[in-house]
């Protein structure tokens, strides 16, 4: 079985954010880092080369594949900010409708810049994701 690339590393989050080339993306990353740290009560940690994660949980799929991943996280990528906060549950739909300019994937929320979204709504989406993780994967 191939080794997972997305695992906790010893890279310093502050160094990673400081190296983000785009100044807007770098500033947005600092805001999201502070928000997720405040909401989770966890220190940020790098997961793989590009994900800033908070907390961790162990999972096992029906196939038997298992691993460990951050409970919640984000990545300040070149094209957009990716937040790993979507649960696929209907309670997030009304919040997403009020969020502002964004795209979604299965568990990912894509935002070009924080100025395009309502930060209070983003915080509430994040709270629902934390509650979902707490209920699904108790600490």
Q: Specify the CATH number for the domain of residue 60.
A: 3.90.1150.200
How many structural domains compose the chain?
Answer: 1
Range of the domain at 34: 13-136
Residue 6 lies in a domain: no
Residue 2 lies in a domain: no
Residue 59 lies in a domain: yes
Residue 8 lies in a domain: no
CA angle 24, 26, 29 (to 5 degrees): 110
Residue 3 lies in a domain: no
What pairs with residue 53 in β-bridges?
Answer: 45, 73
Residue 71 lies in a domain: yes
Residue 5 lies in a domain: no
Residue 32 lies in a domain: yes
- Contact between 8 and 56 (Cβ < 8 Å): yes
- Backbone torsion region of residue 41, taken as left when φ is above 0, otherwise alpha when ψ lies between -120 and 50, otherwise beta: left
**Tokens for 64?**
């038997």
What pLDDT, in 10s, does the model give residues 11-35? 899 999 999 999 999 999 999 999 9
Q: How far apart (Å, rounded) are the C-alpha atoms in residues 68 and 41?
A: 19
Q: How far apart (Å, rounded) are the C-alpha atoms in residues 34 and 119?
A: 12
Does residue 11 sit in helix, strand or coil? coil
Q: How far apart (Å, rounded) are the C-alpha atoms in residues 43 and 35?
A: 11
What pLDDT, in 10s, does the model give residues 72-115? 999 999 999 999 999 999 999 999 999 999 999 989 999 999 99
| pTM of the shown model | 0.91
pLDDT above 70 as % of the chain? 96
Average pLDDT estimate for 38-59? 94
């Amino acid at each position: 079985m191939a080794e997972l690339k997305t695992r906790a590393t010893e890279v310093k989050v502050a160094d990673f954010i400081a190296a983000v080339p785009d100044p807007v993306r770098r500033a947005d990353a600092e805001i999201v880092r502070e928000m997720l740290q405040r909401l989770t009560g966890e220190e940020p940690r790098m997961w793989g080369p590009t994900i800033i994660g908070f907390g961790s949980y162990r999972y096992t799929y029906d196939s038997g594949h298992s691993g460990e991943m951050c409970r919640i996280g984000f990545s300040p990528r070149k094209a957009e900010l990716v937040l790993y906060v979507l649960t696929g549950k209907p309670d997030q739909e009304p919040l997403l409708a009020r969020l502002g300019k964004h795209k979604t994937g299965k568990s990912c929320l894509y935002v070009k810049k924080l100025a395009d979204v309502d930060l209070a709504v983003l915080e509430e989406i994040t709270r629902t994701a934390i509650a979902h993780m707490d209920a699904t994967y108790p600490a």
